[in-house]
Amino acid sequence: MNITLTPDTYTPSVDDNGNYIDSVPTIKTGLYCPCGSRRDKIYDNTSKFSAHIQTKTHKKWITMLNQNKANYYVELLKCKELNENQKIIITRLENQLHSKALTIDYLTEQLLTIKKQNMAVVDNLLDIDMN
């Protein structure tokens, strides 16, 4: 079994005015840029990534991020709310699952007890018929 390292995903820095700007990070395990210029391209050194951030597509992506900051914030809030709702739903479902597992265990035990009692009755009937 081979162990593979997952490349990091590039995130632009934010300047003092709250605008996204490019900065070249230290690349350890490769770097994936979500700008969409080259899908599934992994940059393995800083010089290749530095060349990438000069492309038109990447610069357009940074501009789009800066233009849609408010929309991304609203989307983040919606995602946080959705996440919290899903946590509540998952907790409720886990509780129901636990309760049903306990019920199944109880009913299985009851069934085994009844089965043992019935087997004892059958054994007694067989003993009576043999005599």
Residues 6+ apart with CB under 8 A from 10: 25, 31, 32, 33, 34, 49
Which pTM value belongs to this model?
0.62
Question: Taking 80 as the threshold, does the pLDDT of residue 16 lie above it?
Answer: yes
Confidence of residue 121 (pLDDT cuts 50, 70, 90): confident
For the chain, what's the residue count?
A: 131
User: What's the average model confidence in pLDDT over 113-129?
Assistant: 83
In a domain, 75, yes or no: yes
In a domain, 82, yes or no: yes
Do residues 53 and 38 lie in contact, with contact meaning Cβ atoms separated by under 8 Å? no
In a domain, 34, yes or no: yes
In a domain, 53, yes or no: yes
> Domain containing 32: what range?
8-98
Structural domains counted in the chain: 1
In a domain, 111, yes or no: no
Please give the C-alpha separations between residue 103 and each of 92, 106, 109, 118, in angstroms, as whole numbers. 17, 5, 10, 22
In a domain, 60, yes or no: yes
In a domain, 32, yes or no: yes
In a domain, 87, yes or no: yes
